């Protein structure tokens, strides 16, 4: 009876030898809570630790066999590392905005340079160009605005050449890239007088 009970408890906790891995999307809109769960391995597909964690949560669970645990542990390490990098990128970007607002242009450029080495998103550039205090700083220092525009344009172009976009049909990849580049140029156009400011065309690579 005891043996049966123990076995029953064991098997009812993990009925078919399956486990679950938490998947968040690494994106500027993904909240810190979801990023913190990215890659985590769960025993059950329900409970407090399973998506949706909040209204509008877009995370999901991937089911895998317990026999593959070692592989998924490896994935977990990699995914948690990426989630940490995204949090670091956000911190650097915010610090860049704060430095800019203080008039510390060197500090701002250093932070933004470091952040784009991790990734770059047009929504963050939009936040930067439309935010009250960074905007004041950009208006007062067009040469800094131009340096920043060029930095984001370079980073955005480079990002679309990374292997993660290689699976995408070439035309779609270039359209996405050119659209983003246009958005960045338009956002900086009010601060920059250079020839590329506001221009929609993208020079060849």
CB of residue 71 to Zn ion, shortest distance in Å: 26
Is residue 27 involved in binding Zn ion (CB under 5 A)? Answer: no
Is residue 83 involved in binding Zn ion (CB under 5 A)? Answer: no
Give the side-chain half-sphere CA count within 13 A for 102.
11
Interface segment toward Zn ion; rule CB under 5 A; list 12-20, 33-41, 116-124, 196-204 = 33-41
**8 Å CB contact between 113 and 139:** no
Name every residue whose Cβ is closer than 8 Å to that of residue 19 and which is 6 or more positions away in sequence.
41, 42, 43, 63, 64, 65, 66, 69, 72
Interface segment toward Zn ion; rule CB under 5 A; list 2-10, 50-58, 95-103, 105-113 = 50-58
Q: Contacting Zn ion (CB under 5 A), which of 19, 23, 34, 181?
A: 34
**8 Å CB contact between 189 and 198:** yes
Is residue 187 involved in binding Zn ion (CB under 5 A)? Answer: no
Is residue 58 involved in binding Zn ion (CB under 5 A)? Answer: no
Which residues would be at the binding site for Zn ion (CB under 5 A)? 31, 34, 57
């Amino acid at each position: 009876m005891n043996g049966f009970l123990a076995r029953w408890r064991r098997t009812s906790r993990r009925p078919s030898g399956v486990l679950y891995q938490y998947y968040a999307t690494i994106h500027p809109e993904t909240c810190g809570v979801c990023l913190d769960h990215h890659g985590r391995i769960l025993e059950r597909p329900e409970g407090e630790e399973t998506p949706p964690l909040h209204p509008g949560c877009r995370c999901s669970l991937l089911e895998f066999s317990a026999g593959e645990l070692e592989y998924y542990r490896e994935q977990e390490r990699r995914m948690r590392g990426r989630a940490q990098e995204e949090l670091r990128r956000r911190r650097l970007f915010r610090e860049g905005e704060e430095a800019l607002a203080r008039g510390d242009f060197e500090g701002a450029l250093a932070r933004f340079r470091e952040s784009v080495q991790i990734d770059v998103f047009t929504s963050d550039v939009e936040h930067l160009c439309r935010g009250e205090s960074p905007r004041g700083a950009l208006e007062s220092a067009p040469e800094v605005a131009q340096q920043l525009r060029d930095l984001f344009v370079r980073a955005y172009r480079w990002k679309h050449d990374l292997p993660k976009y290689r699976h995408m049909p070439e035309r779609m990849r270039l359209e996405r890239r050119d659209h983003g580049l246009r958005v960045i140029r338009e956002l900086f156009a009010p601060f920059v007088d250079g020839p590329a400011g506001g221009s929609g065309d993208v020079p060849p690579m």
